[in-house]
Structure 1
Amino acid sequence: MFLHLLFFSAIALCILPLLPGMAGIILPALSWLPHSLTGTTANAFSLHAFELVITWPGIEQAIGLSLFTGISSSLLALLFTFLILQAHWQSPRWQRIERWLAPVLAMPHVAFAIGFGFLFASTGWLYRLVEQMGFSTQGWDAVVQDPYGLGLILALAIKETPFLLLMSASVLKQIKVDTLYKTASGLGYRHADIWLKVILPQWLPKIRLPFYAVLAFGLSVVDVSLIIGPTRPPTFAVLVWQWFNEPDLTLLPRAAAGALSLLALTLLVLLTARVIEHAVLNIWNKWLYSGANQLRLPGKSTIYAILLLPLIVTPLLVLWSIAQRWRFPDLLPTRFSFRFWQQELAPLWEYSYNSLLLAVVSSVIALVIAIGCLEYRDRFQRQIPFWLITIPMVIPQLSLLFGLQVTSHLVAGQHFWLLVSWSHVIFVFPYIYLALDGPWRSFDRRLTQSALSLGLSQWHAWWQVKRALLMPSIWIALAIGMSVSLAQYLPTQMLGAGRISTITTEAVALASGQDRRVSAIYGLLQAVLPLIFFSLALVAGRCSGVQPCKAKPTNSKAQRSQSIDSKSMNPKIVYSKQTKSKTCC
């Protein structure tokens, strides 16, 4: 009964809201608004809002920038991922690379964008270094807020590559790269040919969903574009966000039409990507059978730029947060002060409390629901379709949240905390579900069956066996959920109506022209909190895992014990019928 409740809770909280979300964007785009917004009951349907979008000055350039930056950054991240994998997968360096992926992934996009600006702005640290080397940077074009979005492309590509690397690790283990490599080597293929003609055609379809998530994010990103993206004109997503913030509510249909257009544009790009993938791998695939070629692929040094750049950003945030005087082109500040930390200490406590509360509440709810859905799948062989779970990952946040925000006006009262927490659950749930899906599938069910045969109830068998062995994965999934919640900018702003301030919302607001020192403080705090989450999760996972010990022999007839040794898991779990205790040997 409890599993049924969790399963239907997932549908009610995370799936069904997509329907009013779509209705809440389509109806306003057709010039229909709720009475709570307009104060009138008469609303005539029309396409006037779409006419306003089409005739907006510079709309072609804004859409072109979104397509150029989103597609280029996603393809560049995919290219970086493939080059790094083919260069390091079968080498001893790969284990070290995997260990470094966690801290890089832990840094939110906003914190990285702020540090990226400190590094590559016209007065950034990179330009200071060039000046100190004796070269003049006068007249150099900066890559931060440049008119072509080159800085935005580079930042998104670097930030999304670790995510694709992490997703690719499990994929390459599934397709058994080592076996494929040995077989192809025996047929005369060299390293580059094996990866291009044997591994790539199997890796690309399996990495499709993470790549679509990266592509959709690049096309619709708002917070990073506000910090380092082009401004005149901005990207289409930023332009729609500016329309949404217009004080005149009669212009809200224009914002709805823009959000719906952004959704249609994203879906069209995703469909085009699917068609191109099918054509390259199944129609224009003669390159797969052209035999061995003497090709060489770069990539050995690419990983250093991907991993080192986010690590360089953090010291820059620290320096700017305590810099009192830092003239150009000095490499280091000439005066240091903690005055800005003291100045921001009071609001920092409030924003940190709001961020942590939202992260804990939404992540715990999403974690419980995700575990319930996975257990429901294992028990009854029924599940929510995978593509339906991942919809919040592959459609623009702005489009979905616009519909949810309009729909929320139909509910009487001001429940901002409830709405913001609910929106965080919607976007956190897919990530936690994906993080736990692999460990749940790899768990050996014979362990639970043996525990049941020893007299344990279904609940005690799950709690004492399955939960105990999967606890490290559960802690990591919880840390991932909290990090995702902490990075949510649009859900907090739109459904909170600006009344709930978090570290992320303040970081984005302060990064658009305020004092660099204050921006560095919020960016640094936003970067440190997810790292703390992952560190605590790793420590908790080690402490809560099954620890090896000696099982004490007993001759008592009242106690009946049995060892269970699984081929896939080394620990032998010993159960006692009287004490229901668990030891491991």
Structure 2
Amino acid sequence: MDAALRRIGFQPRGLAPFLPRLRLLHLVGAVVLGVLGAPIAAGLVFTVLPSFGYLPSIGGDRLSLQPWRDLFGTPGFAASLGLTVSTGLAATVLGLVLSFAFCAVVHGRMRERGADGLLAPLLAAPHAAMAIGLAFLMAPSGWLFRITSPWLTGYEVPPDLATVQDQWGAALIIGLLIKELPFLLIVILAALNQIPVDQQMRAGRALGYGQGIVWIKIVAPQVYAQIRLPVFVVLVFSLSVVDMALILAPTNPPPLSVVAFRWFMSPDVTRFLPAAAAATLQLVMVVAAVGLWRLGERGIGWGGLWWTTRGGRGVTGEPGLKLAAAFGMAVLMLGFGSLVALAIWSVAWRWPFPDALPSTWSLHIWSRQIHALAWPFGNTVALAAVTTVLAALLAIVWLEAEDRAGVKRGTAVFHPVYVPLLLPQIAFMFGAQVLVAKIRIDGTFLAVAWAHLLFVFPYVLLALADPWKALDPRYGRSAAALGVSPSATLIRVKLPILLKPILIASAIGFAVSVAQYLPTLFVGGGRVATLTTEAVAIASSGDRRVVGVLAFLQILLPLAVYLAALLIPRIVFANRRGLARR
């Protein structure tokens, strides 16, 4: 073949034409490694070493097991560990079961585009704001008791019940479900686009199987194989969440992540060492949980194979699926109710129990807080805008470099990028704080933006990768045939076509930045206040009306950006229906 090509004047050059493209991919990879890998690696090192007593800045100049002895000897340590594991696993398992049951029951009646708009408020709401809204809804003096009292409950005064911060962690599990269920539904609906679901459903129904059982037996295993990474993200978050746990979880003893957080925030620097031990244990626990989850996948896979091959139409299982779907819908309704409760409290002036609605409404709280909120609001918007723009640019360059290098995008390509999402934040944020202190940028806007970028970029890349991969390559080939350079093709062809996915991914990144609590607090050293840090700080002790204003403003910001991401393509491409709906 080579000899024949040379006879007609073609000179093979091996890999030479592709080397510049590979160099671009390697350059982008090096930038990502520097932006993401360096602070995470340093953060882990500067957390693990203090967990063994080495922190010279406070006099720990030799390795020791004393921090671990202090941790294990803490009153209530076993209860904290048990609470962390039980709430984290329960929220993840329930979220997965309810999302699959919901999709099985409503299959064919819910599309990805409609789900985007329906679930947008729940997806955009920061975790802390949602936790505050749920507390307003479920508290003994909350909205649920108000609308059912006294005609149903008989309560004339708030009951003496632990409905929030209960000892079993039920409120925390519900709060986690409210945030995780919409996320899992969206990724499941996206994964269904890669599977011939309708044909498989018709074949199963033709054999006499119930719709839900066909979905669970045939479709669900295929879907799960595609959403394993998001499930791990949910699992890690559930086991290590701090901001929601501070508001909804028991306080004595609290989950392990809250124990570590409180010690890190203690004015007594000697608590840093056992805090680092608790953070390291949190990391070990998360790794162990992911490993056990993988083993559980195999066991369930074997059991599912046996269940599928033994036959059975599964018609009797349909009521159970419908009940689980109804429970999932109830969780979503609690989420929307939490948002409404926040909105009402932000404009309530006088609201005596058990009135269902305030007796006096006023915007006075908003006007009174506008000056106090100006600085946190400005910081929140600036951080989210800067990190989102950087993350979007980096994601576009990353994906374009892969296209030019001819890399076939598989799931494994993205695994290193998602490392920040697969590690508990408390396990490396203290170390990241030590790193920025050593390079003398702690407490600055730059340091906090860097910390936010660690989490914004993976989400933006995750949201943009599939639409980018689905773009028909013939567009680029047609441009190249007309003599257009690769860079011009990117700017004039690809980016306009992918404008809506880019804006949606950016809106997701904006919401992720707004929701960041630990990175802002640790790396900012408390000197860069945001709406999230302020809301969590006053959630348990402040005026409900002020907390409602803060939390509701948290929700309005990302929701406004998300709505803009949906509307801008329709305005820009008003005369191009295909691009407007893409």
TM-score w.r.t. the length of structure 2 is: 0.90
Which of these residues, 70, 74, 77, is aligned with residue 52 of structure 1? 70
8 Å contact kept, 2:105–2:212: no
Alignment-derived partner of residue 172 in structure 2: 152
Which of 98, 101, 105 is the matching residue for 1:83?
A: 101
- Pair 1:18-2:7 in alignment: no
* 1:31 to 2:53 alignment: yes
Pairing partner for 2:137 from 119, 124, 128: 119
Output one character per residue of 1:456-493: Cα deviation in whole Å (capped at 9) or x when no partner: 22211111111110011111111110110000000000
Residues 197 and 543 of structure 1: CA distance in aligned 2, closer, same or farther (over 3 Å): same
The residue aligned with 1:492 is 520
User: Corresponding residue for 2:560?
Assistant: 532
Candidates 203, 208, 211, aligned match of 1:191: 211
- Provide structure 2 residue ranges, at least 5 long, that are not aligned to the other structure: 1-22
Following superposition of structure 1 onto structure 2, how do residues 340-359 of structure 1 map, counting pairs within 5 Å? 340-359=365-384
C-alpha displacement of 1:162: 0.4
Cα gap change, 1:62/1:317 in structure 2, threshold over 3 Å: closer, same or farther? Answer: same
Q: In structure 1, the residue corresponding to 2:174 is in which secondary structure?
A: helix
Structure 1 residue 499 displacement after superposition: 0.4
**What is the Cα deviation at residue 177 of structure 1?**
1.2
Q: What residue is the counterpart of 2:17 in the other structure?
A: none
Counterpart residue number, 1:102: 120
Measure how far apart 1:201 and its partner are: 2.0
Alpha carbons 2:25, 2:401 under 8 Å: kept = yes
Is 1:516–2:544 an aligned residue pair?
Answer: yes
Cα contact 2:240–2:426 (8 A) shared by 1:
yes
Conserved 8 A contact 2:132-2:551: yes
Given residue 263 of structure 1, which amino acid in structure 2 is its aligned partner?
A: L
What is the letter of the counterpart of residue 493 of structure 1? L
Contact 2:84 2:255 in 1 (8 A): yes
**Paired position in structure 2 for 1:582:** none
1:444 partner SS: coil
Give, in angstroms, the shift of residue 112 of structure 1. 1.1
Q: For residue 404 of structure 1, what is the aligned residue in structure 2? A: 432
Aligned-residue offset at 1:546 = 8.2
- Describe how 1:329-340 pairs up with structure 2 within 5 A: 329-340=354-365
Which of 462, 470, 479 aligns to 2:498? It is 470
Q: Distance in 2 between matches of 1:134 and 1:256?
A: 49
- 1:337: how far off? 3.1
Distance 1:529 1:196 in 2: 38
Q: Report the aligned-residue RMSD.
A: 2.1
Query: What does 1:390-401 correspond to in 2, within 5 Å?
Result: 390-401=418-429
- 2:298 corresponds to 1:278: yes
Question: Is 1:219–2:256 an aligned residue pair?
Answer: no
TM-superposed CA distance for 1:341, in Å, is 1.9
* Deviation at residue 190 of structure 1 after TM alignment: 2.4
2:541 aligned partner, one-letter code: G
What is the aligned partner in structure 1 of residue 184 from structure 2? 164
Instruction: State yes or no: 1:503 paired with 2:525.
Output: no
State the alpha-carbon separation in 2 of the partners of residues 92 and 337 from structure 1. Answer: 39
Give 1:61's aligned residue.
79
Moved more, 94-103 or 50-59: 94-103
Query: Structure 1 residue 176 and structure 2 residue 169: aligned?
Result: no
Q: Per-residue deviation at 1:413?
A: 5.2
Output the CA distance in 2 between the equivalents of 1:500 and 1:183.
Answer: 58
Residue by residue over 1:286-305, the C-alpha shift from the partner in whole angstroms, topping out at 9 and shown as x without a partner, is: 11211023321215534542
Q: Find the partner of 1:457 among 479, 485, 506.
A: 485
SS of the residue corresponding to residue 479 of structure 1 reads: helix
8 Å Cα contact 1:222/1:238 also seen in 2 = yes
Secondary structure in 2 matching 1:390:
helix
Q: What is the CA distance between 1:134 and its match in structure 2? A: 4.4
- CA contact 2:80–2:255 (8 Å) conserved in 1: yes
Matched-pair contact (CA < 8 Å) for 2:387–2:513: yes
CA contact (8 A) 2:463 2:505 kept: yes
Given residue 41 of structure 2, which amino acid in structure 1 is its aligned partner? L
Superimposed CA distance per residue, residues 130-163 of structure 1 (whole angstroms, 9 cap, x where no aligned partner): 2132432475633211111111111111221000
2:349 to 317, 324, 345: 324
Partner of 1:135: 153
Aligned match of 1:441 in 452, 469, 479?
Answer: 469
CA distance in 1, matches of 2:115, 2:27: 41
SS at match of 2:55: coil
In 1, distance between residues paired with 2:226 and 2:337?
Answer: 32
Aligned-residue offset at 1:355 = 0.2
The within-5 A match list for 1:346-425 is 346-382=371-407, 385-412=413-440, 414=442, 416-425=444-453
Greater Cα shift, 179-188 or 64-73: 179-188
Q: Residue 510 and residue 187 in structure 1: after superposition, are their counterparts in 2 closer, same or farther (change >3 A)?
A: same
SS at structure 2 position matched to 1:324: strand
Q: 1:464 to 1:155 in 2, by over 3 A?
A: same
Which residue pairs with 1:237 in the alignment? 257
In the other structure, the counterpart of 1:266 is 286
Once residues 111 and 451 of structure 2 are traced to their aligned partners in structure 1, the CA distance between those partners, rounded to angstroms, is 40
SS of equivalent residue, structure 2 residue 421 = helix
CA contact (8 A) 1:88 1:94 kept: no
- Secondary structure class of the residue paired with 1:385: helix
Q: Structure 1: state its 5+ residue gaps.
A: 550-569, 572-585
CA contact (8 A) 2:504 2:565 kept: yes
SS in 1 for 2:545: helix
Q: Distance in 1 between matches of 2:285 and 2:43?
A: 18
Tell me, in whole angstroms, the C-alpha distance in 2 between the residues paired with 1:318 and 1:283: 47
Q: Distance in 1 between matches of 2:148 and 2:231?
A: 36
In structure 2, what residue type is equivalent to 1:19? A
Structure 2 distance, partners of 1:358, 1:221, is 21
Alignment check: 8 A CA contact 1:120 1:142 kept: no
Counterpart of 1:313, as a letter, is: S
Aligned equivalents of 1:182, 1:169: Cα separation in 2: 18
**Aligned residue number for residue 557 of structure 1:** none
Say which of 92, 114, 117 aligns to 1:74: 92
Q: Percent identity?
A: 36
Alpha-carbon distance in 1 for matches of 2:419, 2:129: 26
* Kept in 2: contact 1:472–1:545 (CA 8 A): no
Tell me the CA shift for residue 221 of structure 1. Answer: 0.6
Distance apart, 1:307 and its partner CA: 3.5
- Post-superposition offset of 1:98: 4.1
SS at match of 1:174: coil
Q: What's the CA shift string for 1:11-54, capped at 9, x where partnerless?
A: 210123222122111111111114xx33x5x7011111111111
Aligned to 1:567: none
- The AA in structure 1 aligned to 2:230 is P
Aligned to 1:291: 311
